[in-house]
Structure 1
Amino acid sequence: MARGVYIHIPFCHQICNYCDFNKVFFKNQPVDEYIEALGTEMKLWSEDKQAFSHIETIFLGGGTPTSLSPTQLSRLLTLIKTYIPMEHVTEFTSEANPDELTKEKLEVLYKGGVNRISLGVQAFQPELLKKLGRTHSNEHVFETLKEAKKVGFTNISIDLMYGLPGQTVEEWKATLEVAFGLNLPHYSAYSLIVESKTIFYNLMNKGKLSLPGEDLEADMYDILMQQMEEHGFHQYEISNFSKDGHSSIHNRIYWDNDEYAGFGAGAHGYVNGIRYSNHAPLKKYISSLEAGEKPILKTHVVTQDEKMEEEMFLGLRKTAGISKKHFQAKFNCTIESVYSKKLKLLVSAGLLSNDEAAVKLTKKGRFVGNEVFEEFLL
C-alpha cells in the first residue's frame, strides 16, 4: 500500500550546474499538455483502490514546480485533488526557487492544499550561488520567506549545500548563521556530489573544478551537526534537522522503505512490491498516456533479500536507526540472523551501535555513511 505520492515537474528556467535530475528548459516545452498527462497518469493509478486508499503525503519536486504559472499550478492542484484521496494527507510539500515563488503562486499553493514549502537556497554568498548556476539573491530568499509566512505557511524548510567549489569553512559558518537567523523549523544540508551528465562533472573531467577535499568537507559536516544541536534542532537523518513535530513525513517514507507512487516523466515509484521508473523524455511520457497506457519504462519485482538490503541501507540514514522489533515483524527473522558478521565488524570499527532495541550509525559512522550502507548489499 502506497503511503506517499511524488509528482515530478521537469521544467526549469535555469539549469543548475550540479543537478542530474530529469529536467528541461521551460521555454517552448509542452507544459500544459504535460500537466494534463499527469492527470491521466494519476487517474490510471487511482483505479487501484487498495494501493491508494491511505495516502499520507504528497511531494511536488523537480525540476522546479514553481516554474509553472499560477494558472498552471492551479490546474495541477485541481487534478491532484481529483484523483488522489486527500482525507489522510497530513503533509503536502512543494519545492520552490526563491526568485520564482511570487505572492500569487504562494496563494495558489496554499489554497490548493500545500502546507509545506521546501526552498532551494544552497548558500548565502553570491559568488557561490553563481558557481552553482543559481539565479536568486539573498533578498529573494528573505522576501519569499516573508510572503510565505504572510500567506499562512508555517512549515518551511530550506536546502543548504557544503563542499562546494572554492567554499571555505568561514563561508559555511556564515551560511549557517544567516540560516538560523531565518527562524525556520526545518533545514536540509547536503554535501555536493558531482554526478555524471552535469556541468560540474564536465568541469571536473577537464580539471577545472576546485573542490574542498574530503577532510575539509568532513569538517563542514561536523560544524553542521554541532551548530544544529546548539540551536535546538534534532538530527533525525544524516542530512536533515528539525524542531519537534517538523521532520519531513514524506522523506521518512523513503527511509522507512515503505511504498510510494511516482508520477511524471522520469519519476520512480514502489507500489505493490514492484519498483518502477517512467519514461523520461516528455514526448514519450505524454504519448504513452495519450494511448491510455501507464508511461512505465521498466519494472522490478523486489525480492525478499533485496527488501532486507533496502531496509538496512535506507533505514540506517535515520539517526534512530532500524528497530529490531520492526525488522523481525516485517521479515519474520532477526537482523542478527542475516547480518551477524557484518554487524560485529562495523560495531568493532565504531561505525554502528547495536543494542537490544535498534541498530544505528554512530556519530563516526555518519561521516562514512555510504561505505557502511554498502556493507549490507548481499
Structure 2
Amino acid sequence: MKEAIRDYKIDIQQPVLDDLQARLAMARFPEKEPVDDWSQGIPLAYVEDVAAYWRDGYDWRRCETALNQYPHHMTEIDGVDIHFMHIRSPEPDARPLLMTHGWPGSIIEFMDVIGPLTDPAAHGGEAKDAYHLVIPSLPGYGFSGKPAKTGWGVEAIAKAWDILMMRLGYDRYFAQGGDWGAMVTSVIGAQNLGHCAGIHINLVVVGAPPEEVVKNPTVEEQESFKRFANYQTQGVGYAEIQRTKPQTLGYGLADSPVGQMAWILEKFQGWAEGGSAPDDNFDRDRLLDNVMLYWLNNAGASSARLYRESFSNPNIEPVHMPTGCSIFPNEIMTPSRRWAEKRFKNLQYWGEADKGGHFAAMEVPELFLREVRNCFGGMQL
C-alpha cells in the first residue's frame, strides 16, 4: 500500500565511502582569494583544512550510529518517498511536534535537542515539556526521495506534512521550523487544515514593513533593515543561482565533495554568531555530518529546486493559527513584533534570544529549547 509506513535504517555501503575518499584525495583547488576575509567566499586555507580532516579524520560510521539510535521510516506521499524520524516520548502526556529543517541544513540540525524534547526529565527538565517528535527530510533532501515533477513548493510540502501526521495517527499536533522549515510551518498555519494546533518559527518571513515601521522605525528595526539590505546585496547570490539554474549548479555539487562542502559551510559562517570560521560556533564533525547528508544522497540539485519552486514569490499569506516567533540576533531577517503581527494575526509568543543565528537548534540548543518550550507551553492541542 502506498500509505504504508516502512521502517528504514541508514546503511551507506562501503564503496560509496571509498569513492568519497578517492575524490577527496584527488581534489583540485582554486588559487587563494586576494582578500583576507570571507567577502569573496569561503577562504582556500579553511577549505583545504576541512577537506584534509574529512579525508583523514572524519568518521561517517559514528554519525550513522548516532542517527540509527532513533527510529527512521519512509512513506510515499504524492509519488515521493518521504524519510522521517519518529521518536516517541516515554511521557504519557507528551504532545506531538513536527519539526522541519531547511537549506543548507538537515535533520542533523536537531540532534542536540531530540533528547531534551522527548525525555526532558532525563535531561534536567520537566515532564510537562515532553513531545513526540516527527522530523522529516524535505523532498529532495537527505534520505527523502527526489520529486520527478515540478510543483513541490512549500504549499505542497505543508499539505504533505499534514498527511504524514494524520498517517501517524496524530489528529492534533504542533509544528516548528527554521529556514525553509519556517516557510513550510508558516504555510501549515495559513492553510489551517484543522489538525495543527499551533506553530513556532525561528525565521520570521513577513511582507513589506507597514507604514508605521517605515516612517518611525525603532533602533532595532533600523538594524533589521540594514541586515536584510546587506543580505540582498552581498548574500543572496546562492539563492538566485538555485532559483534560476539548479540543474546547472547540480553538476558541480554532484561531482565534487569539496564543492558541496564549500557551498554549504560558507553559510554556517555567515549566518551564525560572528566567528571567523564555522568551527567557532559548531562542532566540525557535526558540520560534516550535515554535508554528508547532501553528498551521500547526491542532493545538491534536488535540494536547490525548492528555490526554483518557492523563492521568487514567497508565501506570505496571513496566519490566524496560534503562533510563536523567536528572533535570534544573527538571523538573516529580524522583523519587529509589530511588523510580524501584520502577517501573524494570533501571535501568542514572541521571544528574542541574546545570541545565535540561522541554525539555532544546532548553534545554541539550550536557547532554542527554551524558546520552543516557552512557545508551546502556553498553547493547547
Q: Same fold (TM over 0.5)?
A: no
Higher relative contact order (CA 8 A, sep 6+): 2
Q: TM-score, normalised by structure 2?
A: 0.28
Higher percent of residues as strand: 1
